[in-house]
A = this chain, B = another copy of it.
Amino acid sequence: MLRVPFEDLRTVLEQAMRRLGLSPDRAHLCARLFAETTRDGVYSHGLNRFPRFRAMVENGSIDVSATPTLTTAFGSIERWDGHRGIGNLNARSSMQRAIELARTSGIGAVALANSNHWMRGGAFGWQAAEQGVFAICWSNTLPNVPAWGATSPSIGNNPLILAVPRANGHHVVLDMAMSQFSYGALASYAKRGQPLPVPGGYDSAGHLTEDAGAIEASQRALPIGYWKGSGLALVLDMIGAMLSGGLATHQLGLEPLREAGQSQVFLAVDPSNLGTAEELSRVADGILDYLRHAKPVDPTQPIRYPGEQTLLVREENMRLGVPVDPDIWSDLSR
């Protein structure tokens, strides 16, 4: 495995962003977000995603110069237009605006229309938690999962993020999409010839299966909780498109390289009027302590909370270097 220092990864990405036409400050931030995503172990949406990101800049789906503008403001909720700018930059500024609204009103929301793939949704949960703020945010996607009862792609694999700040910096950040496994994860299992740990979809004969290749062939990935995740994906899409005034899943096309115009929602709650960070953290600590003392299925496998693994991977990758795909790395760093 090729590992490179985080700062090298960030610098090489920044240079690549400059070559795509981003202004210096935007190239710096965008590259940092990509590099941090890889550093935190979300390899699919960091460096490895750069070639697709570049292709979408080149085919006009992403406008590297566009920045979000305010469409409508009412109290603590605002509607913004992302003008098909860079997804992670648009999302970051939207979450930051929701945090500002929460600072003055306890709770704030931004509904962002017409944006782009935000890459790693969890980044915006960490962003809020690092500022002591709770966050809930989600994005819609193109239709890539069959709804419950359907065999054709009819709902988005909409990522949903919930973030809980803790005074010790060990924030709890849940970052989950609506299918049990991403198509990226299915591809890895299929390539290794490994069965999925739990059923991940239907084969072409309509049977629930742990065979990743069979699910790739049928394109029938399973929504989490069957009818429940299917309903949740649908409702998140509705709220996102209705509040933002932007596109719904079914309007995002079926071509990943042209998937642009996502609708996203960013909610932030500033708890600083509800108690000190330490008081609030004690509540979180009690919950995590109870979790840690549950009876494990396998005594060698600790029971983890969402985000715990992220910090372990981050520490390891900062210490040993961040794993990179050699081909993408040599392409970018030469």
Interface residues of A (CB under 8 A from B): 72, 74-77, 79, 104-109, 111, 134, 136, 143, 146-155, 162, 164, 172, 174, 176, 180, 198-199, 206, 208, 224-226, 228-229, 231-232, 234-239, 241-243, 245, 248-251, 267, 269, 271, 273-275, 280, 283-284, 286-287, 290-291, 294-298, 301-306
Is there an interface contact between B109 and A232, defined as CB atoms closer than 8 Å?
no
- Measured between beta carbons, the chain B residues less than 8 angstroms from A271 are 242-243
- Measured between beta carbons, the chain B residues less than 8 angstroms from A105 are 74-77, 105
State how many angstroms separate the Cβ of A316 from the closest Cβ of chain B.
Answer: 21
Partner of A149, one of B79, B229, B236, B297: B297
Is there an interface contact between B154 and A294, defined as CB atoms closer than 8 Å?
yes
- Measured between beta carbons, the chain B residues less than 8 angstroms from A251 are 286
- Measured between beta carbons, the chain B residues less than 8 angstroms from A146 are 294
Is there an interface contact between A164 and B248, defined as CB atoms closer than 8 Å?
no
Is there an interface contact between B275 and A106, defined as CB atoms closer than 8 Å?
no
Closest 3 CB pairs of A and B: A224-B225, A75-B105, A77-B106
Identical chains in the assembly: 2
- Measured between beta carbons, the chain B residues less than 8 angstroms from A150 are 291, 294-297, 303
- Measured between beta carbons, the chain B residues less than 8 angstroms from A283 are 238, 241-242, 248
Is there an interface contact between A149 and B242, defined as CB atoms closer than 8 Å?
no
- Measured between beta carbons, the chain B residues less than 8 angstroms from A151 are 294-297
Partner of A291, one of B155, B245, B291, B306: B155
Q: Complex Cα distance A149/B193, Å?
A: 24
Is there an interface contact between B76 and A176, defined as CB atoms closer than 8 Å?
no
Is there an interface contact between B250 and A290, defined as CB atoms closer than 8 Å?
yes
Partner of A237, one of B72, B136, B243, B287: B287
Partner of A172, one of B238, B248, B274, B287: B238
Q: Complex Cα distance A155/B152, Å?
A: 34
The 11 sampled A-B contact pairs (Cβ below 8 Å) are A77-B106, A109-B269, A148-B303, A149-B303, A150-B303, A154-B291, A164-B239, A174-B235, A224-B225, A231-B305, A248-B287
Known interface pairs A105-B75, A174-B231, A198-B226; A149-B245 also in contact (CB < 8 Å): no
State how many angstroms separate the Cβ of A256 from the closest Cβ of chain B.
Answer: 18
Partner of A301, one of B149, B162, B298: B149
- Measured between beta carbons, the chain B residues less than 8 angstroms from A302 are 149
- Measured between beta carbons, the chain B residues less than 8 angstroms from A155 are 291
Partner of A108, one of B107, B275, B297: B107
State how many angstroms separate the Cβ of A11 from the closest Cβ of chain B.
Answer: 34
Partner of A242, one of B143, B226, B284, B294: B284
State how many angstroms separate the Cβ of A2 from the closest Cβ of chain B.
Answer: 29
Q: Complex Cα distance A72/B302, Å?
A: 38
- Measured between beta carbons, the chain B residues less than 8 angstroms from A287 are 234, 237-238, 241, 248-250
- Measured between beta carbons, the chain B residues less than 8 angstroms from A104 are 75
